[in-house]
Structure 1
Amino acid sequence: MATNNGNQANAKIAVVTGGSRGIGRDAVLRLASRGVDSIFTYNANRAEADKVCALAAEAGARAIALQLDVGNAGTFGDFAARLKEALAQLGAQRFDYLVNNAGTSSAATLAAGTEAELDAQFAVHFKGPFLLTQTLLPLINDGGRIVNISSGLARFAFPGRAIYGPMKAAVEALTRYMALELGPRRIAVNVVAPGAIATDFSGGMVRDNPQVNQAIAEHTALGRAGLPGDVGPVIAGLLSDEFGWVNAQRIEVAGGMHI
């Protein structure tokens, strides 16, 4: 579904993976409030994706939702073709911003983690952003910007995150290499590391479990768990010209968790 409110064809365009829910959803809507059009992906819930398109229109921007499983790299070529069609709907051939946000949770420990879960987390959190970015490089404008999403768990350890946390640490290293290699094209690449955020991620553990929420608040300097609205503005800000000289940086958005 696309919404069109008559924005000029030269409006900035962002591609956001996992934009139908949580942090990705907030990022799409924050970008819309800044006049940035979005092409965002969803995995399965088309109804929620359509709601985001409608909300983006209300905020004054256009949005197009495309289905994508970021853990299935074999579909990235087809996605690029569909993305070109979506860009044409927006009157463009290329886009300006890429947000590698989509992810899945894992509660694996070192003792109980399986090879299958390790492979699945690698496919979504490292292989996916690496190969999707590689596939889309010809479509990103020179001078554009990329934001990858990590986690506070790449800095501090928490029980049951023995696979997830290290995968996000790998994303942070990847970000620096992206920034180095894309420098000649003036494409800046940064990584945002959210703390514990109250969304449906991890089965809504932070949002829906009062004990978990309170425990996080007690270990956070600002005294509460995070919300999607704490992270979306940071992503949108990093994509803006105001942060044009910020490159290869990790920005943790966690309210001072475990400091």
Structure 2
Amino acid sequence: MGRRYGLRSSLARKDIALHSCRGRTALVTSANQPLGREAVIALAYAGAQVVLHHHRSTHIRHVVEEACASAGRARSVAADLRSPAAAEMLATRTREIVGERLDNLVINGEAARAPLMEEATIEEFDLIVAAHVRAPFFLTRHLLPILHKGASIIVIAPVAGKEDASRAAGRLMVGLADYLASQLSGRGIRFNTILPADGGWHGPGAMQFAETVAFLASEDANGISGNVHHVGH
């Protein structure tokens, strides 16, 4: 697999380093997808210990190696979040890896493939909603015991440029993020959404995306919650 990360320049790494996540822990879902990989590398450069979720990816080891080479620590966990039991299993495995404190949950709403509206079957649409709406809801719920006051949840909802059924799921994720932000504000958990431009993991868009992830995951973003951050537009 050719590496396509957007954090190769020293300038990009310097920008990420401004927002330290040293000593912090993170779980990134769909870490094998382009924006998920960028989020992992950004958090690793910032010093975080990262758990990488993937679904049967043969390339995830490259992302783990890159994260470990960036001064971070990384472990991967495979789970099909379309399955009803997967969210609880992923939460359990994450807890086994990071212990009783999770500082950051990054929910990546990228879909590898999705049918067009005219072609989507009921079963296919149900699987998309299960992975992008049901799973984030229950994963968040199962992780609440270790999401402490000051923890950060970041939803990546790519909707720009999408003409397939995943665009609908992305819009639903924005609504879910708004709901969860209102529910978790009393616990002191920050909740923010990133809306990246189409193809935003290349060039300057990738740097802006990575810096936004690192910033929202760091203590520099304390007090920032319930916001939608447009990146690369």
The structure 2 residue matched to 1:77, chosen from 81, 88, 99, is 88
- 2:192 maps to 190
Cα deviation, residue 177, structure 1:
1.3
Question: CA offsets per residue over residues 117-158 of structure 1, 9 Å max, x none?
Answer: 2111111111111111111111212210000111243xxx76
Counterparts in 2 of 1:227 and 1:117: CA distance versus 1, 3 Å: farther
Question: CA offsets per residue over residues 209-257 of structure 1, 9 Å max, x none?
Answer: xxxxxxxxxxxxxxxx8754442222222112222222111112133xx
The answer for unaligned runs of 5 or more in structure 1 is 1-9, 200-206, 208-224
CA distance in 2, matches of 1:54, 1:179: 33
- 2:116 maps to 108
Amino acid in structure 1 at the alignment position of 2:220: E
CA distance in 1, matches of 2:33, 2:119: 29
- 1:13 maps to 25
- TM-score normalised over the length of structure 2: 0.81
SS in 1 for 2:85: helix
Q: In the TM superposition, what are the counterparts of 1:146-185 in structure 2 within 5 Å? A: 146-153=153-160, 160-161=163-164, 163-185=165-187
The structure 2 residue matched to 1:29, chosen from 30, 41, 49, is 41
CA distance in 1, matches of 2:45, 2:53: 19
Question: CA offsets per residue over residues 25-68 of structure 1, 9 Å max, x none?
Answer: 1111111111111011111124x222222222221111111111
Cα deviation, residue 173, structure 1:
1.3
- 1:140 maps to 147
The structure 1 residue matched to 2:135, chosen from 116, 125, 128, is 128
Count of paired positions: 211
Residue 237 in structure 1 maps to residue 215 in structure 2: yes
CA distance in 2, matches of 1:236, 1:70: 25
The structure 2 residue matched to 1:65, chosen from 76, 83, 93, is 76
Asked whether the equivalents of residues 152 and 252 of structure 1 are also in contact (C-alpha less than 8 Å), the reply is no
CA distance in 1, matches of 2:150, 2:128: 31
CA distance in 1, matches of 2:66, 2:158: 27
Bigger CA drift: 124-133 or 232-241?
A: 232-241
Cα deviation, residue 95, structure 1:
0.8
CA distance in 1, matches of 2:232, 2:39: 16
Cα deviation, residue 107, structure 1:
3.7
Asked whether the equivalents of residues 73 and 132 of structure 1 are also in contact (C-alpha less than 8 Å), the reply is no
State the Cα RMSD in Å. 2.3
Aligned-residue identity in percent: 24
Asked whether the equivalents of residues 90 and 139 of structure 2 are also in contact (C-alpha less than 8 Å), the reply is no
CA distance in 1, matches of 2:87, 2:115: 27
Cα deviation, residue 77, structure 1:
2.4
- 2:60 maps to 49
Asked whether the equivalents of residues 19 and 102 of structure 1 are also in contact (C-alpha less than 8 Å), the reply is no
SS in 1 for 2:153: strand
Asked whether the equivalents of residues 43 and 69 of structure 1 are also in contact (C-alpha less than 8 Å), the reply is yes
Counterparts in 2 of 1:74 and 1:49: CA distance versus 1, 3 Å: same
